[in-house]
Structure 1
Amino acid sequence: MKGLYCDGSSIRLRDDLPMPTPGPGEIRLSVRIVGICDTDLQLAKGYMGFRGVIGHEFVGQTDAGQRVTAEINNACHVCPTCRDGRPGHCPHRTVLGILGHDGAMAEHVVVPTVNLHEIPDELDDREAVFIEPLAAAFRITEQLVLDPGVKIAILGDGKLGMLCAWVARTTGAQVSVIGKHPSKLALAGEAINTYRLDEVSTLAKTFDVVVDCTGSHSGFPTALGLVRPCGTVVLKTTVAGTYTVNLAGIVIDEVRVIGSRCGPFPKAISALVNRQVSVRPLIAAEFPLDEAESAFRAASEKGARKILIHVNPASA
């Protein structure tokens, strides 16, 4: 089988991967299309020490021809954490293409059937591949109350930053996006305020909520400078390596810090079907699987938008 393999510090296309075999409660899917996200880029730098096929944003197809995608946390569903309704934090879980489970940047992937979500006919593959990251953006709305009285800043004008901004906009909150790239900030839309990073000195301690979507070591300290006393910082991206942060400001200003990861697939699917969020402007380029290494290099370029890989175009 052909797929993009991570050896813990780099990635390469291989054609000698074993065909995955479904275990109890699992299904093997033919992969139609997969997206490269910033977590994949971090994995290639050593994040999590992952070895295996990467990729978790995907559209697959069953043997019966049904298009599906899958949640990425593979929980045991029997431990106390799972029974308490937190399967995404199951201590025994594997995570698709991230932790102990091969991902979807290959011709086939195996996932638990309980994690499957059917893709409506209204969505084409290029839209449906965004379900997982859009669900992650919706997770913020489960963790915080956002309404027209809330001033929220999205720090980072990348793919996840824009998804978080568009989701926050659906709540009526006062949304601002702060980034480095005028061309990317322009994607935010008229209902969202935009600022270049070098303009934020006047915005210090003015936001109720700041969401760090930078994937950078400088993101968290910058977010702490933007959030008001008794406000909330949401950490939305992962970074390979360790932070060095002065925690005094968090204590003095009584700032809440929330980690935010995976979110509700049904909300993401509904938002795409109802055209509350349009993801097509985020697509930069598309590659066949045979050019996956080139696709990964394109995704690694500074300021890159979403790169898609068509894996089984005959079935798409």
Structure 2
Amino acid sequence: MPKCVILTAPRTVKVVERKPLIPEPREAIVAVETAGICGTDLAIFSGDYPRPLPMVLGHEFIGRVTSVGEGADESWVGRRVAAEINNTCVAHKRHILCHACTRGTPNHCQTRTVTGIVDRDGAFAEEVAVAEGTLHEIPDNLDPFAATLIEPLAAALQTFVMTPVTGKETVAVLGPGRLGILVVFVAALKGLRVVAVSRSEDKRHRALKYGAQEAFAPEEAREKILELTRGWGADIVVDSTGRPEGITEAISLVSPQGVVAMKTTCGLPLKELDTTQLAIDEIRLQGSRCGPFPQALEILAAHQDRLKYLVSSMRPLEKAQDALESAFSEHKVVFRASD
């Protein structure tokens, strides 16, 4: 019987056996190879981002398709894949689409389930069920630990899909952790001047290794960024701190007519936000979440030898409680569900 990790209460998981999954029409069952723990998983695990329980977390994963449901392409069986997290009208190949899918924005599908987050069990398991249209084939020679970064790397790329750049911009990344370090890496690939801001000396050092030209502690960041930009501020500030007050810190660093990109899922409310500066300086707040998998796969294929070292440890499903607790302090913990 296949195993899965069930979240039964905040900070409480148990490993159980369950019946083998049977694919619904136009869905696929994927035998999970590796699955990464991200900030959203930890927000749900801790109870900061409440979700109906019990549930199985996990949406950053790779594996191999073992079966498909009625109406799905049987050639997927046996192929190594990653999967997007949104199971939408389009991904299910429905004949009648919701408004969001009709207008070409399926990530905001009004009937979607989100793997491991909303109304669909996730990949902290030996197998997971996803819509056929979420699948992307990945090469067998792609490192399994680097490959778990496909979903967050795509999310990092989405920052610059939502806010296109010319290559001349200064980008400040607040919180260069699990996701933020990938924003640093992508911004550097685009030729931008990248500044990392973190309370952690280790994270500042890692950001410099992965493309940041400068890295500062929060208390010196505003002065240093104004120095670098001749008093202007950063054109784009990416908040990936995972803290509600991160947005206020980001606004303090951004230039007039700049963009504050919000890249964290934080279940805790922001108690106060002074919108005066937003109006006077014409600052844009930009939400940003899921991104383009094909481009992420291209980057991973070219840079996997560097990116795989962002994974700090691998744990078996049986050690799920310890793995999730450790993930609060480690850079990137990955479950190894199968060989």
TM-score band w.r.t. shorter chain: over 0.9
Is 1:187–1:281's contact at 8 Å kept on the other side of the alignment? no
- Deviation for aligned residue 1:67: 1.3
Q: CA separation in 1, counterparts of 2:117 and 2:147?
A: 20
Equivalent residue for 1:75, pick from 88, 91, 110: 88
- Deviation for aligned residue 1:211: 0.3
Q: Deviations over 1:204-262 (max 9, x none)?
A: 66101000010012210000100011111000001112112222221222110000000
Q: Which residue of 2 aligns with 1:239?
A: 266
Q: Which residue of 1 aligns with 2:64?
A: 61
Q: Deviations over 1:158-195 (max 9, x none)?
A: 12111001001111111111112222222224652211
Q: Which residue of 2 aligns with 1:311?
A: 337
Partner amino acid, structure 1, of 2:63 = G
TM-score, L = length of structure 2: 0.87
Q: Kindly indicate whether residue 257 of structure 2 is the aligned counterpart of residue 255 of structure 1.
A: no
Is 2:58–2:116's contact at 8 Å kept on the other side of the alignment? yes
Give 1:84-95 correspondences, 5 Å limit: 84-95=103-114
The 3 A distance-change label for structure 1 pair 277 and 271 is farther
Cα RMSD (Å)? 1.7
Equivalent residue for 2:297, pick from 269, 275, 290: 269
Q: Kindly indicate whether residue 202 of structure 2 is the aligned counterpart of residue 200 of structure 1.
A: no
The 3 A distance-change label for structure 1 pair 213 and 87 is same
Q: Which residue of 2 aligns with 1:131?
A: 150
Q: CA separation in 2, counterparts of 1:299 and 1:307?
A: 6
Q: Kindly indicate whether residue 186 of structure 2 is the aligned counterpart of residue 158 of structure 1.
A: no
Q: CA separation in 2, counterparts of 1:186 and 1:307?
A: 19
Q: Kindly indicate whether residue 311 of structure 2 is the aligned counterpart of residue 283 of structure 1.
A: yes
- Deviation for aligned residue 1:200: 1.3
Q: Deviations over 1:17-51 (max 9, x none)?
A: 44332111001111111110010000113314243
The 3 A distance-change label for structure 1 pair 229 and 269 is same
Q: Which residue of 2 aligns with 1:167?
A: 186
Give 1:193-232 correspondences, 5 Å limit: 193-202=214-223, 203=225, 206-232=233-259
Secondary structure at 1:222 match in 2: helix
The 3 A distance-change label for structure 1 pair 276 and 7 is closer
Partner amino acid, structure 2, of 1:179 = S
Is 1:167–1:277's contact at 8 Å kept on the other side of the alignment? no
Bigger shift: residues 184-193 or 35-44: 184-193
Q: Deviations over 1:131-182 (max 9, x none)?
A: 0000000001211122331111011121211100100111111111111222
Is 1:34–1:129's contact at 8 Å kept on the other side of the alignment? yes
Q: Report sequence identity in percent.
A: 37
Q: CA separation in 1, counterparts of 2:305 and 2:182?
A: 8
Partner amino acid, structure 2, of 1:120 = P
Secondary structure at 2:140 match in 1: coil
Q: Which residue of 2 aligns with 1:299?
A: 327
Kindly tell me the number of residue pairs found equivalent between the two proteins: 311
Segments of 5+ residues of structure 2 without an aligned counterpart are: 67-76, 91-96, 227-231
- Deviation for aligned residue 1:65: 3.3
Q: CA separation in 1, counterparts of 2:285 and 2:158?
A: 15
Is 1:59–1:68's contact at 8 Å kept on the other side of the alignment? yes
Is 1:208–1:227's contact at 8 Å kept on the other side of the alignment? yes
Is 2:142–2:301's contact at 8 Å kept on the other side of the alignment? yes
Segments of 5+ residues of structure 1 without an aligned counterpart are: none
Bigger shift: residues 4-13 or 124-133: 4-13
Q: Which residue of 1 aligns with 2:229?
A: none
- Deviation for aligned residue 1:282: 1.4
Q: Which residue of 2 aligns with 1:49?
A: 51
TM-score, L = length of structure 1: 0.93
